[in-house]
Structure 1
Amino acid sequence: MEQHGADALRLYLMNSGLVKGEEQRFTDSGVKDMVRRTLLPWHNAFKFLHTYASIDQWSPDQHLQAPQHLLDRWILSRLQSLKHFIKKHMEHYELYRVVPELLAFLEDLTNTYIRLNRSRFWTEALDDDKCQAYSTLYQVILEFTTCMAPFAPFLSETIYQSLLKLHSDNSNKPQSVHLCTFPTHDESLQDASLEEAVLRLQHILALGRQQRNALKIKVKIPLRELVVIHKDQQLLQDIAQHEATIQKELNVKSIRYDHEEDRYISLYAKPNSPVLGKRLGKSFGQYRQLIQNLSHEAINTLEKTGTITLEDETFSSEDILIFRESQADSHAVTDRFITIAFDETLDQALIDEGLAREVINRIQKTRKAEGLNVDDRITISYTASSHLLSVIEKHQTTICQETLCEQLEAVSEVTDQPYQFEIEEETLTITLHKQRCKTC
């Protein structure tokens, strides 16, 4: 407890077999894991809000706005689902079920919501969209912190006190998180289809990154096209609402949607052994064979209707797990939920655009090395090998926008505190200075 804190120990024990009356071998690594997976992401999410809200002088008293952005609506829906889940299982004292759901929500908050919305917080103007992003993140962190109070009371109180300071007048607010009413879920904010669409979005992004690694094509190099494949056309329409996000995260020029998934994948089924083994007993072996031999048409029926009857037993989609397998000649990648395929063809223009993104990356690293604030503007003098010089000139506007650079100037020699980089066998040397002017 002295090393990792009381909150981490509490979460570890609540997530252990002890609360189910089982034996538990205590491990220090398990407590440390709760710090890594719960306390740090939660604190970092708050720190992200606090840092940018302070820069923009945003206050929930003046700028609280109703959400319109799809991802705002999604994270608020996920929050309602979380609150409903906590209430349901806390009423039955099933603490061991709550902690994994808290971890899953934090993963969604930090690695999906905040990651995909960073550009909204980085814009200069405090416009309506940025205020909605702040309002949503503030509400989510506030309610999540209140939900966490019984589980991690000390960090909950620390974050809550800092959230109070965002208000110009907090005298009418409870002065401790432990004086707050436990949040109840709001059904009007829940949207099951939106949650399902973003779940598939997460799978698309994971598959896309996995496939780029397999192809050894860096994410910084754009690709011409991504095909998203699923037989449910309504699901494809829901996913298409997040097209801009997919394009940005996977760095593709265009996206096409194809419901004829038989051209790309084959379906097969397996029994959910832990569930069916307990339910069917000695008959499990017989039904396992029937399930593994299900035809493509039968699996389609199960996926569409949610149930299927084999002999005298009815099975749900939770009893039978459906898997997708890419056909050898399709160039597609798939998991249990969605299938994608890239146009893998590269030309010089795409490669050069990737080089420009590498330059942006090196400038951002230099900003960090110089200890600059996230909103500090800069001027840059640089030298580069001939091809990289032409790439920088061509993509100068994008480079300036992405790095808050007011002036990007090619010079014959860089002498003042130079930083030198090798990028794809090209040489770049830069010197960077903080600047106050507002034009690039």
Structure 2
Amino acid sequence: MPYAYIHYPFENVELFENNFPGHFVAEGLDQTRGWFYTLMVLSTALFGKPAFRNLICNGLILAADGKKMSKRLKNYPPPTEVIDDYGADALRLYVINSPVVRAEPLRFKKDGVYGVVKDVFLPWYNAYRFLVQNAKRLEMEGFATFIPMDLISLQASSNVLDQWIYSATESLVQFVCQEMDAYRLYTVVPYLLKFIDNLTNIYVRFNRKRLKGRTGEEDCQRALSTLYHVLLTTCKVMAPFTPFFTEGLYQNMSKVSKGMEESIHYCQFPRAGGKRDERIEQSVARMMTIIDLARNIRERHNKPLKTPLREMIIVHPDSNFLEDIAGKLREYVLEELNVRSLSSCNDPLEFASLRAEPDFSALGKRLGKSMGVVAKEVKAMSQSDILKFENKKEVTVAGHCLQVTDIKVLDYTFSLFCATPMVLTLIAVLCLLSFINVSWNDSLGKVVVRDFKRPDGVAEKEMDAAGDGDVLVILDLRPDESLFEAGIARRIQKLRKKAGLEPTDIVEVYIESLDDDKSVLQQTLVSQEKYICSALGSPLLPSAAPPHAVILCQERFHGISGLAFAITLAKPALIFNSDACLALYSGDAKQANGLQTYLLSRDHSNLKSEFQQGNGKVGLCDGFL
């Protein structure tokens, strides 16, 4: 603090008074007495107020064994080695997102820095790479060079995930500005990391078809432009925390836009104040909860995602949320969970029953001997009586007027207050053994258990549910052989990965029946042609690969819904009409072979545009290709 530093009070009086108390003071935990307290004492004695408005105190970084880092013991990895392996940004983010920023000690581990690279930078970079790959794909398919669309027009998009990501980006900017103004660094980075996770695992993951151009060029341009602007804003927000990584992304992204600053560190920090849609943010958050709960049900019953399911039911009292799930978000839920139909229900009683129990701790002293009679009648309350009580907030039982604080109403959830860790552990074990769905509420200290009432005649293995105390998810697990064909597309995508193909690589996909009766597989492919073509982005050829095909990967499947078949991925290849080639050169075989060699060396996807009528080569592609 500038007490004597600027020679106050003998000069610089105005400068001192305009800057005192200081905006913040920062020091390590071990200097609190020699720095923070001394400043406070001096400022209180001299001016009657604190010396600083904000205090930033960092904890100590210890070795992995909890001891102080020592050059003699060499109990820590060399900093240059960590930076060489994982980068300065990863090291910085690891420390920023640690207990150190809360004035607590950190046991430094090199594996923790690697975790930042794996969990933050790789997904973040993959989102950027996905943008670049699909922008390149547009150009390869003959469309215009990718230029980001105007941000104002993009924000008027009718796509629900576009609306959500813009709202989430605005929430990010508002939160970061608010928390950084308050010097709460420890809340900012977790929020940033969660946003990057949502960007990669929700927007990019659920918008793959749009980003790959499967829904048309205009929609693809809109989705890519949205991803571009969100990534650009994310880089600007993260620039103070990861200066090198964001600069690298910014330099590449600035190549497709004019009038951008020379460096990201010359850009103004994004300003808060834009439009937010809190409803759609909440709906998407609940959608992700639904997806997680449905995955838990699948895992519990050994139903992998590649196995299609008939139906999914969402139970929640909020009609607006159900409207979003059954409308705007429907296709994303069905595709991610591989479910054919989705229905919603806003009446929890359809799949559960209400129960009422007296609060003995509240009524015991007040009712005395009457407690037993009142308790018996409360437990015997009918469904309609409980609903009336919830509406009126009071009920008369055995001559006593009871309020909402006197009765616990339990619908498809009920609460158990646990006095000891032993009781909590016992309940957790019982829940695991009986597949009861449990969530822990730290603020209330209670276990919330979701109790599901199945329809009559339906067994647990045929229908099951999971919930989190807010929403209930029900899955119809009964097998349906007609759903088999939907899994073919997923198997083909796995083959592409096995062959090491890039998303931009074009291949031909052949499927061949290995059964004696080949008509069954043929009928399946015909009935689901639209679904499979939509999932693959290209037609599925119902035959064996031709002899001239360059096979990239092949796999055989047996016992899949009683069928056996082989799937082959092949590189597109040219077939020449030898007679037409010879006729073109008046029987000169050498020149004909030279033309074939030239054509084989070209990019096959461009041959149609290069050899078309009007370029001196009339009908060449149709004549001999």
Structure-1-length-normalised TM-score: 0.79
- CA 150–222 in structure 1, closer or farther in 2 if over 3 Å, else same: same
| 2:442 aligned with 1:353 | no
Superimposed CA distance per residue, residues 276-305 of structure 1 (whole angstroms, 9 cap, x where no aligned partner): xxxxxxxxxx99xxxxxxx9979x97xxxx
Superimposed CA distance per residue, residues 310-341 of structure 1 (whole angstroms, 9 cap, x where no aligned partner): 69xxxxx9954783513364632111331111
Q: Which residue type is aligned with residue 326 of structure 1? A: D
**More off after superposition, 131-140 vs 62-71:** 62-71
Deviation at residue 196 of structure 1 after TM alignment: 0.6
- CA 121–326 in structure 1, closer or farther in 2 if over 3 Å, else same: same
8 Å CA contact 1:225–1:342 kept in 2: the answer is yes
Deviation at residue 236 of structure 1 after TM alignment: 1.4
**3-state SS, counterpart of residue 49 of structure 1:** helix
Superimposed CA distance per residue, residues 364-405 of structure 1 (whole angstroms, 9 cap, x where no aligned partner): 344445554424433344533227873355325344453344
Q: Structure 1 unaligned runs (5+)?
A: 269-285, 288-294, 302-307, 312-316
**3-state SS, counterpart of residue 410 of structure 1:** coil
Q: What does residue 114 of structure 2 align with? A: 32
| 2:266 aligned with 1:179 | yes
| 2:131 aligned with 1:43 | no
| 2:480 aligned with 1:391 | no
8 Å CA contact 2:509–2:541 kept in 1: the answer is yes
Structure-to-structure mapping, 1:21-420, within 5 angstroms = 21-56=103-138, 57-60=145-148, 65-66=154-155, 67-124=157-214, 127-167=217-257, 170=258, 172-188=259-275, 190-241=276-327, 242-264=329-351, 319-320=443-444, 323-327=448-452, 329=454, 331-350=464-483, 352-354=484-486, 357-358=487-488, 360-370=489-499, 372-386=501-515, 390-391=520-521, 394-395=524-525, 397=529, 398-405=531-538, 408-411=541-544, 417=551, 419-420=554-555
Q: What does residue 20 of structure 1 align with? A: 102
Superimposed CA distance per residue, residues 105-124 of structure 1 (whole angstroms, 9 cap, x where no aligned partner): 11110111111110111225
Q: What does residue 557 of structure 2 align with? A: 422
CA distance in 2, matches of 1:388, 1:99: 57
Deviation at residue 158 of structure 1 after TM alignment: 0.3
Q: What does residue 291 of structure 1 align with? A: none
Q: Which residue type is aligned with residue 50 of structure 1? A: V
CA distance in 2, matches of 1:160, 1:368: 29
Sequence identity, in percent? 30
**3-state SS, counterpart of residue 335 of structure 2:** helix
CA distance in 1, matches of 2:354, 2:478: 28
CA distance in 1, matches of 2:301, 2:290: 16
Q: Which residue type is aligned with residue 264 of structure 1? A: F
- After superposition, the CA RMSD in angstroms is 3.6
8 Å CA contact 1:149–1:157 kept in 2: the answer is yes
**More off after superposition, 139-148 vs 378-387:** 378-387
8 Å CA contact 2:545–2:570 kept in 1: the answer is no
- CA 412–405 in structure 1, closer or farther in 2 if over 3 Å, else same: closer
Deviation at residue 131 of structure 1 after TM alignment: 2.1
**3-state SS, counterpart of residue 374 of structure 1:** coil
Q: What does residue 571 of structure 2 align with? A: 433
Deviation at residue 39 of structure 1 after TM alignment: 1.2
Normalized per residue, the structure richer in helix is 1
Deviation at residue 20 of structure 1 after TM alignment: 2.2
CA distance in 1, matches of 2:493, 2:321: 38
- CA 29–383 in structure 1, closer or farther in 2 if over 3 Å, else same: same
Q: Which residue type is aligned with residue 117 of structure 2? A: V
- CA 267–145 in structure 1, closer or farther in 2 if over 3 Å, else same: farther
Q: What does residue 283 of structure 1 align with? A: none
Q: Structure 2 unaligned runs (5+)?
A: 1-82, 139-144, 356-360, 363-378, 391-402, 407-440, 456-463, 574-603, 609-625
Higher relative contact order (CA 8 A, sep 6+): 1
CA distance in 2, matches of 1:4, 1:235: 42
CA distance in 2, matches of 1:380, 1:244: 26
Superimposed CA distance per residue, residues 227-254 of structure 1 (whole angstroms, 9 cap, x where no aligned partner): 1001222221232231121122222222
8 Å CA contact 1:381–1:414 kept in 2: the answer is no
8 Å CA contact 1:376–1:434 kept in 2: the answer is no
Deviation at residue 62 of structure 1 after TM alignment: 7.8
CA distance in 1, matches of 2:98, 2:88: 15
8 Å CA contact 2:86–2:113 kept in 1: the answer is yes
Q: What does residue 272 of structure 1 align with? A: none
- CA 337–36 in structure 1, closer or farther in 2 if over 3 Å, else same: farther
Residue correspondences, number: 399
